Amino acid sequence: GAVVSQHPSWVICKSGTSVKIECRSLDFQATTMFWYRQFPKQSLMLMATSNEGSKATYEQGVEKDKFLINHASLTLSTLTVTSAHPEDSSFYICSAPAGNTDTQYFGPGTRLTVL
């Protein structure tokens, strides 16, 4: 099946620094990718929709200036957490739709810890 990769798998950073997370579709093209955040023992919460060649669409309550999304190509979307704070510590997961279905292929996730 289709594979989605994420890098890095985990990152620890100091408060105030910025962290970039990459999401790649390895064997298929994705004009749209999705970024989720998952806090411990909670469900996945959609943060934004990444659109190749256009601006990302953010969910209500998600600060677009803090979570910068760039969909540079048909196989790569990046999420940059700017000026990270401890409350941004979470599990960030990207996904890409499988063909013309509603099914999503999820990346392995990036665990961010902000000290």
Q: Does 70 bind another protein (CB under 8 A)?
A: no
- Indicate which single residue of 24, 79, 107, 114 sits in contact with another protein (rule: CB under 8 A): 107
Instruction: Return the residues of window 40-59 that contact another protein according to CB under 8 A.
Output: 41-44, 46, 49, 57, 59
Round to whole Å and give the CA distance between 28 and 8: 20
List Cα–Cα distances, 81 to 29, 35, 37, 49, 88, in angstroms.
Answer: 24, 12, 12, 15, 8
- Determine if 100 is a binding residue for another protein (CB under 8 A): no
What spatial distance separates the first Cα and last Cα of the chain, rounded to whole Å?
37
Residue placing its CB nearer to another protein in the complex, 34 or 67: 34
Q: What are the residues binding another protein (CB under 8 A)?
A: 34, 41-44, 46, 49, 57, 59, 93, 95, 97-98, 101-109
